[in-house]
Amino acid sequence: MAAPSLHSSNTTTQTSFSISHAMTKNFVSILCFFLVLYPFFAMATSANIFFGENVEGMKYDLFPEILKEEAVARLNELGKVSDANDYLERTFQSPASIRAGNLLRAWMEDAGLKTWVDQMGNVHGRAEGINPSEKALLIGSHLDTVIDAGYFDGSLGIICAISAMKALNATGRLDKLRRPVEVIAFSDEEGVRFQSTFLGSAAIAGLLPVSALQIHDKNGVTVQGALRASSIETTEENLLQLKYEPESVWGYVEVHIEQGPVLENVGLPLGLVKGIAGQTRLKVTVRGTQGHAGTVPMNMRQDPMVAAAELIVFLESLCKQPDYYLSYDGQCASSTVESLAGSLVCTVGEISSWPSASNVIPGQVTFTVDVRAMDDTGREAIIYEFSNRLYHMCDRRSVFCNVERKHDANAVVCDPDLSTELKSASHAALKRITGEDPGDVPVLMSGAGHDAMAMSHLTKVGMLFVRCRGGISHSPAEHVLDDDIWSAGMAVLTFLETLL
Ligand SMILES: NC(=O)NC(NC(N)=O)C(=O)[O-]
Ligand SMILES: [Mn+2]
Ligand SMILES: [Mn+2]
């Protein structure tokens, strides 16, 4: 039926007039209604009230309560879980590591994840998503620390991953992930207690030899004994069952503090890791003749302390000027020596002597050697040269020397495609938070080691670095800005949203 017109016949006109009059009255009242209520309507739509979201639309999108406030609070809480009273120390399966694992497990459950602890003390939190049989994305870092550590090395990567998963859960999207996503808090990356690092991630990657269970710490406790002390009965059989099948894993992502000054220097919170330097850890033992400090003439001593001192100074010279020291006996092409110049670093971090008394010429001195380089051949050449020179020096000093290789991990190149996805997620996350284009996300090499080195033997790996104050790490002065923690969590969330 055609709508009555305002311009029709007389009768109709009357009718139409009254209709038109009525319509006019209605139109005016609707208009008044709308004008009075419009401001409330505008506020409601801008605040997404109508779409089941919280009051400030932007707040819903950025999750500052989860990715910033709560993540910062959790990092501070976790940083106080220590085996020592006045500094942070959490070593493999120590009481503090167990407490930290329980705390992380509770936070994983708070994020809606299914959790468990495996036979190497790794803490897992998993969301199956819409297709549990799909290849899983693993996101992790380590819960253990060095001695006198900072609050962020390892912990930041775990907390950011849990927070991002919680943000998905808070918006009902956790079970909409196209593939399973699993957060893993690895039990031992630093290798402080047993000197062999990546105990947790190497087990998942299938790299850990069963003999590792018998490695012992300074007190003679084995890895197996340390697990047993925390009621985990790890045998050769169930250790081997920890290995993930490559076909069940899509990739591994790790967020970690940069532990260097580059991001702070360029003024950006996030960076992409292109590769990770290879590393070797040695234990050098020097044995001499223990004696009385006051009665043994200087030219009759076999003093292991002085021998160790000469070896340590030589190591520094070798690593400062590899080109000068490396013997070109076929061990080392000139290209390898050149590549060392840019990334070679050597450190003696630990030294001990027996009997360690001021009026006794020591009987034995042991010290650690940590060698890193992007070029694996170059790193081997440095170790070869150091060992060679070591035995000659020890012969000259009539002391006995022994070099044990405690740990090796070859350099790792991160997966280019996964890295591209992480780079764009970081870029989008920074733009989402600041509202501005952050420019290009920097790409860096990592001199520090990461669980990603072990995981690269299982699947493709990608890493994000987060700016840390002064580039300081392995120190209580380690610090990350709250907003950078937010950016890191948002980068993980933005990356996970590509899986929806
Ligand atoms: N991110 C680290 O601090 N890693 C440390 N741990 C290993 N295994 O490299 C290190 O010494 O670089
Ligand atoms: Mn570390
Ligand atoms: Mn670390």
* Nearest Cα residue to atom 6 of ligand 1: 190
Q: Is 197 in the pocket of ligand 1 (CB under 6 A)?
A: yes
Report CA dihedral (419, 423, 424, 426) to the nearest 10 degrees. Answer: 130
H or E element: which one contains 451?
helix 451-455
Tell me whether the omega of the peptide bond preceding residue 355 falls within 30 degrees of 0, making it cis: yes
Residues 6 or more apart whose Cβ sits within 8 Å of residue 495: 253, 421, 422, 425
Question: Half-sphere exposure of residue 89, counting CA atoms within 13 Å on the CB side?
Answer: 10
- Residue 210, pLDDT > 60, answer yes
Could you give the ipTM of this predicted complex?
A: 0.96
Identify the band that residue 6 occupies on the pLDDT scale cut at 50, 70 and 90: very low
- pLDDT score for 195: 87
- pLDDT score for 384: 93
Identify the band that residue 339 occupies on the pLDDT scale cut at 50, 70 and 90: confident
Task: Give the whole-angstrom CA distance, residue 325 versus residue 321.
Answer: 7
Residues 6 or more apart whose Cβ sits within 8 Å of residue 225: 216
* Nearest Cα residue to atom 12 of ligand 1: 448
In this structure, are residues 289 and 361 in contact, taking their beta carbons and an 8 Å threshold?
Answer: yes
Atom of ligand 1 nearest to the CA of 449: 9
Dist. CA 168 → ligand 1 center (Å):
30
∠ CA 200-202-207 to the nearest 5 degrees? 150
**Closest CA relative to residue 232, chosen from 103, 117, 81:** 117
Question: Half-sphere exposure of residue 267, counting CA atoms within 13 Å on the CB side?
Answer: 2
- pLDDT score for 10: 39
- The domains located in the chain, with CATH, are 64-277+412-498 (3.40.630.10), 278-409 (3.30.70.360)
Q: What is the bridge-based pairing of β-strands 249-257 and 136-142?
A: parallel
Which of 189, 192, 199, 280 has most ligand 1 atoms within 8 Å of CB, for mutation?
Answer: 189
Task: Give the whole-angstrom CA distance, residue 395 versus residue 401.
Answer: 9
Least confident of 308-317, 329-338, 374-383, 447-456: 329-338
Task: Give the whole-angstrom CA distance, residue 393 versus residue 315.
Answer: 12
Q: Is 144 in the pocket of ligand 1 (CB under 6 A)?
A: no
**Closest CA relative to residue 459, chosen from 412, 497, 421, 423:** 412
**How many residues are listed for the chain in this entry?**
500
| Nearest ligand for residue 280 CA | 1
**Closest CA relative to residue 109, chosen from 131, 132, 126, 128:** 126
Task: Give the whole-angstrom CA distance, residue 400 versus residue 391.
Answer: 8
- pLDDT score for 101: 98
Identify the band that residue 31 occupies on the pLDDT scale cut at 50, 70 and 90: low
* Nearest Cα residue to atom 9 of ligand 1: 449
Identify the band that residue 227 occupies on the pLDDT scale cut at 50, 70 and 90: very high
- pLDDT score for 14: 37
- Can you state the angle between helices 304-320 and 376-396, rounded to 10 degrees? 150
Q: Which amino acid is at 411?
A: A
Q: Is 150 in the pocket of ligand 1 (CB under 6 A)?
A: no
Q: Is 450 in the pocket of ligand 1 (CB under 6 A)?
A: yes
Q: Is 448 in the pocket of ligand 1 (CB under 6 A)?
A: yes
16, 45, 175, 282, 441 from 201: Cα distances, Å: 83, 48, 26, 21, 28
Q: What percent of the chain has pLDDT over 70?
A: 87
Averaged pLDDT, 198-214 = 97
Q: Classify 118 as helix, strand or coil.
A: coil
Least confident of 39-48, 137-146, 181-190, 252-261: 39-48
Identify the band that residue 342 occupies on the pLDDT scale cut at 50, 70 and 90: confident
- Residue 170, pLDDT > 80, answer yes
Task: Give me Rg for the CA atoms of the chain.
Answer: 31
Q: Which residue has the tokens 């250790």?
A: 239
In this structure, are residues 397 and 439 in contact, taking their beta carbons and an 8 Å threshold?
Answer: no
- pLDDT score for 343: 87
Task: Give the whole-angstrom CA distance, residue 476 versus residue 481.
Answer: 15
Q: Is 153 in the pocket of ligand 1 (CB under 6 A)?
A: yes
Which of 142, 145, 148, 190 has most ligand 1 atoms within 8 Å of CB, for mutation?
Answer: 190
Return the DSSP state at 89.
B
* Nearest Cα residue to atom 3 of ligand 1: 448
Identify the band that residue 5 occupies on the pLDDT scale cut at 50, 70 and 90: very low
The alpha carbon dihedral of 243, 165, 482, 436 has a sign of positive
Q: Classify 343 as helix, strand or coil.
A: helix
Q: Which amino acid is at 125?
A: G
Please provide the DSSP assignment of 289-311 as one string.
Answer: --EETTTS-GGG---HHHHHHHH
Dist. CA 266 → ligand 3 center (Å):
22
Identify the band that residue 43 occupies on the pLDDT scale cut at 50, 70 and 90: very low
Task: Give the whole-angstrom CA distance, residue 249 versus residue 459.
Answer: 7
| Nearest ligand for residue 279 CA | 1
Dist. CA 153 → ligand 2 center (Å):
5
Question: What does the pLDDT look like over 346-395, one tens digit per residue?
Answer: 999 999 999 999 999 999 999 999 999 999 999 999 999 999 999 999 99
Atom of ligand 1 nearest to the CA of 447: 12
Residues 6 or more apart whose Cβ sits within 8 Å of residue 498: 421, 425
Atom of ligand 1 nearest to the CA of 154: 1
∠ CA 7-8-13 to the nearest 5 degrees? 95
The neighbouring-strand residues paired with 282 are 369, 405
Atom of ligand 1 nearest to the CA of 473: 3
Dist. CA 200 → ligand 2 center (Å):
15
Which of 153, 194, 408, 450 has most ligand 1 atoms within 8 Å of CB, for mutation?
Answer: 450
Mean residue pLDDT of the chain comes to 90
10 Å CB burial of residue 464 (0-12, 13-18, 19+) is buried
- pLDDT score for 44: 43
- Residue 434, pLDDT > 50, answer yes
- pLDDT score for 485: 98
Dist. CA 453 → ligand 3 center (Å):
11
H or E element: which one contains 421?
helix 416-434
Q: Is 258 in the pocket of ligand 1 (CB under 6 A)?
A: no
Dist. CA 220 → ligand 3 center (Å):
26
Dist. CA 371 → ligand 1 center (Å):
12
